[in-house]
Chain A
Amino acid sequence: MRTLYREFISATLLILGISVLIGFVLANVVYLAFTKNEITQQNVEAAKQIVHVLEEMHVSSHALQPFLESVGRLGYQMYLANGSGDEYFFGEPFEHSRLPARTLDQVLNGTPYMGKDNIWDQFWMMGHFSNDIRNTVGLPLQIGQEPFALFVKPDSKTLFSDIHMMLAGFILAVAVLSLLGVIKMTKRLIYPISELSEATKAIANDDFTYSLEIRRKDELGQLAQNFLQMQQQLKHNDVARKSFISNVSHDFQSPLMNIQGYADLLINPDLPAKERIQYAGIVNDEARRLSNLTKQLLLITSLDQSGYPVRKSLVRLDLQIKESVKKHQWSLQDRNLSISYKMDEAELFSDRELLGIVWDNLITNAIKYNRPNGHIFISCSNNKDKIILTFEDNGIGLSEASAKQVFDRFYRVDATRKKDGTGLGLSIVKEIVTLLNGTITLDSEPGKGTTFTVMFPKKGKD
């Protein structure tokens, strides 16, 4: 976290430094382009007025001195000289009092001197405010009959030292305040980041309970929101995964235990025939259950992978269901069940293999949970915008509570029932039907039978 602080602070300082520098250069450019001429013009006006007053007075250069001194006290610096070496300074003395060569002569000859124009060696505007005689404006004037030159400049020393102080103070205040602000802001930024970092670590350690205390409306708040959502989903997945694993291991272990146990009993050579048949039957059933379970687990895990490759083609549902029924004909006959169907021709653009699994499971289900001499009826009605298929049996039926759970993985209506069910068949059916944009519902009454209704819209979403 330290580094983030350091980075923010150094970035702020850098930005401050650069902006001061750029600001200074810009101000300089503006000054040189516009302000400087105005100031020079003002100085020229002031000098002209002084010259005007002096010429009106018609007095000797000595008599002018008190007047110029009083002007000097009003905040002007002046230098008065003639061609014969007489020179007078009024007001605050110049730090640098040497005029460029020949300037005096030029002014005495009638050409005004616009000081600041000539100071190109000092580019910075501060040079134009320094206490230097070269910053004056020079005008010619007549005192008596004698030509004089008057160089005038407002005394800006005091003013400027104040401005310098103010400017330095201003920059310092800006810098300190910005740094304080940045530190505070960084703290506010870093808090949620370190919170999120802690929460991530917790999740890495399989702890999904870390609660984030971040109430912000900006991107970080959004991130925290998304993080919480992810945390909940991971938590849910984790619970689902754990219960799946425990279910799977239980469902593998119990038939294996039975097989082992009853195979042990079968080894006994003196076992009465009746018991032998019963035990062998149990081994048989359990092995069958295991085989089913493996097949279905394989299918369900491949369905679980997002983006299961659905291979669509035109499928004649009625023909496919007929084929599926034929496959189960032997077990129908074995259990003395009768089956009939009334099916419209119906063609659907869908996945042939997955649909085959749906029909197989629904028919197996109707056979398994039927009663001796029971009936199964299958219908397929091809409507304008959808195809509706029903699988109806008059078997043992389901209670209302069971009907709600029947599509859940590993749910079995009666856990002790000796059927080769795995509790996965209908959950697979539901998953496939949903994957293929269809819906499945059931209608059941205990003792009377169950009807599963599958509906597929003709125009899929994709």
Chain B
Amino acid sequence: MKLKELFFKKFVVTSEIGPPKGWQIDKLFLDIKELKNKVDAINVTDNQSSVMRLSSLVVSKLLKDNGFEPVYQITCRDRNRLALQSDILGAAAFGIENLLLLTGDHTKLGDHPQSKPVFDLDSVSLIYTVKQKLEQGLDLAGNKLDGEPPKFCVGAVVSPCADNLDSQLKKMEQKIKVGAEFFQTQAVYDIDKFAKFTEKAKNFGVPVMAGIVILKSVGMAKYMNENVAGVYVPDNLIEELKKDKDKTKSGQTGIEISARLIQQLKPLCQGIHLMPLGWDDKVSEILKKSGI
């Protein structure tokens, strides 16, 4: 099922999993067991934060085999245009229908800082490659593909609370121009900032799913404020995390904050994208508390 078809019918909910650093996925499937039928699709990250992990294509295929709808994430950091196209055709062969195409973090941020960052293409040119070339029966060099062209629903990312919003919006526009069909955003904690973003982005007419990262601790909130681009956790939320240490430690504060954010964000967007960062078992409760 292509995500874009769902936006007409309902408020769409996706969650995200990071493949393990190893090949066994039993634990991962145990963690997300409860999510079946509670979320519309599950994103599979591609060597997230430039840390080497099990292939996102393989985990997407395994999700599909186990009755989940995967959103196969692909970054431009680790593959040149041949490998990217080849893997995307592979996804089509596996029946994977939803892609999320990103530039990717720099290799310096991850666990193989010595490696060569590829960035042969970037998010815009990769979306172009899929929508304007592969889906038209051609490869990026213009050679004809054999058989039926693949058909995907292509998503992209945007950072609605970035320092330079105009620059983000311009890039968003470029992504839409080449074929992006929905957007998932960086984590949002500031509703006013998000509202300012949607005020401008709504003119594009492409569905936006607000990003939610569960706050696990005061340290995490402070770390993100210091280091993560486009993420700002306001002081009142940090105070809330500080107030009851045991409650925060158990995850309850994070769950409550996330559920509240979803309620506040819902009127402003077309869906929610949860990034539990390992707290996959908390997703069900968040969704229940938020009332969606």
Whether both chains belong to one complex is answered with: no
Q: State the B residues within 8 Å of A (CB).
A: none
